[in-house]
């Protein structure tokens, strides 16, 4: 995998991919991990509420679930507990059907492929190994690279910097409303996938311009989408 963070604008377009729920079948594993972490610290939060926050970084997730006025002294312990529970699944993490081939197909069509994940860098490394498509991936950005995660635009903006392209030559692909909102704030078009548990209308309302059932369906229809050929600077 090459990192183009310091590269200049070579005129290519970029496809920016969320990872959890978009490329990897991990949304409900994160839901369970956060439920257990919160329970350990005495917080009773339903899995339904937690699921709707997966895709945010832990900063926004805990603000949403526990309130912005809470005592934040326990946040590090909550995050560590989540990481410990989630790490039990690392050896079994699996890409969604078609995900790895979709990355390769985008790279073959001239796109610079960048992963833009709210996960921490260690988690991202595990998912990268599971995807086994490193040759197609130009760069990776994680929550460790930014001060605020999705739905803030920071992660998308950092991914654009690593790709070395302006927002108008990029497409973001994600599975949650937070992905579409972050992309919109960064001025990037967004395609949605239904693999994270959000419905089609929710993703469209959040700013996705089109929605597909899965990476496999998007790959099957790729020639009829923006991804058919990467744009080039005139």
pLDDT score at 149: 85
**Which residue is listed with tokens 């329970």?**
39
What kind and span of H or E run contains 113? strand 112-116
Report CA dihedral (119, 123, 129, 133) to the nearest 10 degrees: 10
CATH 1.10.150 boundaries in the chain: 27-92
Domain spanning 14-26+94-228, CATH architecture: 3-Layer(aba) Sandwich (3.40)
The closest alpha carbon to 123, from 154, 89, 99, belongs to 89
Given a cut of 60, whether residue 42 has pLDDT beyond it is: yes
User: How many contiguous H segments (helices) and E segments (strands) does the chain have?
Assistant: 10, 6
- Structure token digits, residue 49: 């509420």
pLDDT score at 43: 96
SS3 label, residue 187: coil
What kind and span of H or E run contains 158? helix 154-163
| Residue 211 CB burial class (10 angstroms; 0-12, 13-18, ≥19) | buried
Q: Could you report the per-residue pLDDT of 43-77, keeping only the tens digit for each?
A: 999 999 999 999 988 888 999 999 988 888 899 99
Given a cut of 70, whether residue 232 has pLDDT beyond it is: no
231 pLDDT band, cuts 50/70/90, is confident
CATH 3.40.50.1000 boundaries in the chain: 14-26+94-228
pLDDT score at 216: 98
Give strand ranges (E) for 143-222: 170-174, 189-193, 210-212
Mean pLDDT confidence for 189-197: 98
The span from the CA of 220 to the CA of 49, in Å, is: 33
The span from the CA of 134 to the CA of 125, in Å, is: 11
Q: Could you report the per-residue pLDDT of 15-30, keeping only the tens digit for each?
A: 999 999 999 999 999 9
Measured CA distances, 84 to 9, 30, 52, 94, 179 (Å): 40, 11, 21, 18, 25
The span from the CA of 69 to the CA of 55, in Å, is: 22
pLDDT score at 10: 63
Q: Could you report the per-residue pLDDT of 84-131, keeping only the tens digit for each?
A: 999 999 999 999 999 999 999 999 999 999 999 988 899 999 999 999
The span from the CA of 222 to the CA of 225, in Å, is: 5
CATH 1.10.150 fits 27-92, yes or no: yes
High-pLDDT (> 70) share of the chain, %: 94
């Amino acid at each position: 995998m090459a990192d183009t963070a310091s590269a200049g604008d070579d005129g290519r377009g970029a496809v920016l991919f969320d990872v959890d729920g978009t490329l990897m079948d991990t949304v409900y594993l994160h839901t369970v991990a956060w439920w257990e972490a919160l329970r350990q610290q005495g917080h009773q939060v339903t899995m339904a509420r937690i699921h709707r926050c997966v895709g945010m970084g832990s900063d926004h997730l805990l603000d949403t679930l526990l309130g912005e006025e809470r005592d934040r002294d326990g946040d590090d312990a909550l995050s560590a507990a989540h990481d410990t529970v989630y790490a039990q699944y690392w050896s079994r993490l699996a890409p969604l059907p078609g995900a790895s081939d979709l990355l390769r197909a985008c790279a073959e069509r001239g796109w610079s492929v960048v992963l833009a994940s709210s996960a921490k860098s260690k988690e991202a490394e595990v998912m990268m190994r599971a995807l086994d498509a490193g040759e197609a991936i130009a760069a990776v950005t994680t929550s460790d690279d930014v001060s605020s995660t999705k739905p803030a635009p920071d992660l998308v903006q950092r991914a654009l910097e690593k790709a070395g392209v302006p927002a108008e030559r990029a497409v973001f692909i994600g599975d949650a409303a937070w992905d579409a909102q972050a992309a919109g704030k960064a001025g990037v078009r967004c395609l949605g996938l239904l693999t994270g548990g959000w419905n089609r209308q929710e993703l469209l309302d959040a700013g996705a311009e089109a929605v597909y059932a899965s990476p496999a369906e998007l790959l099957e229809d790729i020639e009829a989408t923006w991804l058919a050929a990467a744009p080039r600077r005139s």
